[in-house]
Structure 1
Amino acid sequence: MEQLKGKTALITGAGKGLGKAVALALAAEGVHLALLSRTEKDLVDVAAAVKSIDSSLNVAYATADISDFNSVTAAITKLKEQLGVIDILINNAGIGKFAKFMDFEISEWENIIKVNLLGAYYVIHAVLPEMLERQSGDIVNVSSSAGVRASALTSAYSASKFGLIGLSESLMQEVRKSNIRVFTMNPSTIATDLSVSLNLTDGNPESVLQPEDFAELLVAHLKLNRRAFVKDVGLWSTNP
């Protein structure tokens, strides 16, 4: 079993929802945390929650526009100056909107691709060189069941998540030879602010997956012996 204690993880979209749940689960494992999100107040709250779990952990945070390469690069440079190397990257930041194809504003469609796909690329670009140099690291890309099977009204979101799965698959094949594990998580609906705002929980968020369920599975994957990894995994509600 892989020992996580003492490692450092960078989490995007860390201010709420899945990102916050993952931060708290990793803190319980003794992982130092670099938190990245758009809203500083959310990051302050998560950092305080992490410290309440283990006051000895190093926690740093930075705000960034995940869709902007220069903003991402500057934020991650700041985080690495405070915490050192990044052992684990969790690409969680994402946005969504469901609508008929022709009802999308072009800028809306483009922005979903920029945040969900290009944003992940930008973060990997900033973190991967040091992982390659150390010949070790873990990269977790958070896609969606909508990235495995599209539906009506999900053109932009599914395109971004299908693309992320393709990115992950190619990168995995490339860097596994350097002892870097890349895996993709494809959850169905999880009770987050985003899913509730998109009316995906049918008014009953308790019946679907919770952020803590996702975080538990993610941590279990990271704790696998380094000779093994799960390339991709779907996580579904039992009886939504």
Structure 2
Amino acid sequence: MATIFLTGASGGLGHVVTQTLLNQGHRVIATVHSATNTRQRSADSPGELVSYPVDLTDAVAVDTLVKQVITNHGPIDAAVLLAGGFTLGSLLETDAAQIDTMLTMNFKTAYNAVQPIFAHMTQQPTGGRFVLIGARPALDVQSGQHLVAYALSKSLLFQLSDIINATGKPNSIVSTVILPSTIDTSTNRQAMPDADFTTWVDPQDLADMITFVLFDKGRILREPVLKVYNRA
């Protein structure tokens, strides 16, 4: 049983990733907004789900939580950082406040988790794995020009992943960026009811990709950036 620190577990993708990891028999440490800790096993899966409340934008609170998780559950083998947000807006429509909001939601929430978990993994003989969720507009300027704050904030995750890989190489720490196009969630379907859903990415395919790089033959990859676009 591996222990995976997971943010964004309540989202459309996070729910599927959580269940996939539980079905494979892992322990999922999920961050939530509620005020109480919960721990449960499901009769339908061999894994264990443990939820801890934390404000991911508070670096001190996240650092404290990571230390608590290590004390309570032992080493963290992997971190899957899915938390984030989205907003529209071109260069002329996007103000500084929107930039700050997206940086906080998409970059700082990831960085606040990466820093203490990375420090912990450097002390483990087995190292560890990170998975960050990028976004196609961060690389594709044609779509990014309409999502400026979102694209800029997500672009920093590629730099962060490169830094993790460069710094963590001596300690067998590897970071992967998974880069989906539009994910087929109920929220996205409601927002874009006229879209062709068949071209979108199934959340289960992304969950399978995450487990591939964490536990399967994908572990041999170094510095991977995986573009999961389906037919979009």
Secondary structure of the residue aligned to 1:113 is helix
The CA distance in 2 between the partners of 1:198 and 1:104, in whole Å, is 20
The CA distance in 2 between the partners of 1:174 and 1:82, in whole Å, is 27
Match of 2:178 among 158, 165, 185: 185
Hey, what does 1:175 align to over in structure 2?
168
Match of 2:205 among 202, 213, 220: 213
Change in CA separation of 1:197 and 1:226 when aligned onto 2, cut-off 3 Å: closer
Please state how far the C-alpha of 1:80 moved relative to its aligned partner. Answer: 3.1
Change in CA separation of 1:192 and 1:40 when aligned onto 2, cut-off 3 Å: farther
Hey, what does 1:26 align to over in structure 2?
21
Does structure 1 retain, via aligned residues, the 8 Å contact 2:9–2:18? Answer: yes
* Structure 1 unaligned regions, length at least 5: 1-5
Change in CA separation of 1:232 and 1:19 when aligned onto 2, cut-off 3 Å: same
Secondary structure of the residue aligned to 1:53 is coil
Hey, what does 1:66 align to over in structure 2?
56
Match of 2:32 among 34, 37, 62: 37
Is structure 2 residue 116 aligned with structure 1 residue 131? no
Change in CA separation of 1:98 and 1:157 when aligned onto 2, cut-off 3 Å: same
The CA distance in 1 between the partners of 2:166 and 2:7, in whole Å, is 23
TM value normalised by structure 1: 0.84
Question: 1:173-206 CA deviation, whole Å, 9 max, x = no partner?
Answer: 221221111111111110235534653x644545
The CA distance in 2 between the partners of 1:40 and 1:210, in whole Å, is 32
Partner AA of 2:122 in structure 1: L
| TM alignment of 1:102-141, pairs within 5 A | 102-135=92-125, 136-141=127-132
Is structure 2 residue 35 aligned with structure 1 residue 7? no
Partner AA of 2:108 in structure 1: L
Aligned residues between the structures: 228
CA RMSD in angstroms comes to 2.6
The CA distance in 1 between the partners of 2:95 and 2:35, in whole Å, is 28
Hey, what does 1:3 align to over in structure 2?
none
The CA distance in 2 between the partners of 1:197 and 1:97, in whole Å, is 15
Partner AA of 1:87 in structure 2: D
Is structure 2 residue 91 aligned with structure 1 residue 101? yes
Question: 1:129-171 CA deviation, whole Å, 9 max, x = no partner?
Answer: 1210013111111111122223222111111111101110122
Match of 2:154 among 161, 171, 174: 161
Most deviating of 181-190 and 65-74: 65-74
Does structure 2 retain, via aligned residues, the 8 Å contact 1:64–1:71? Answer: yes
The CA distance in 2 between the partners of 1:119 and 1:193, in whole Å, is 24
* Structure 2 unaligned regions, length at least 5: none
The CA distance in 2 between the partners of 1:30 and 1:107, in whole Å, is 42
Change in CA separation of 1:37 and 1:134 when aligned onto 2, cut-off 3 Å: same
Is structure 2 residue 65 aligned with structure 1 residue 80? no
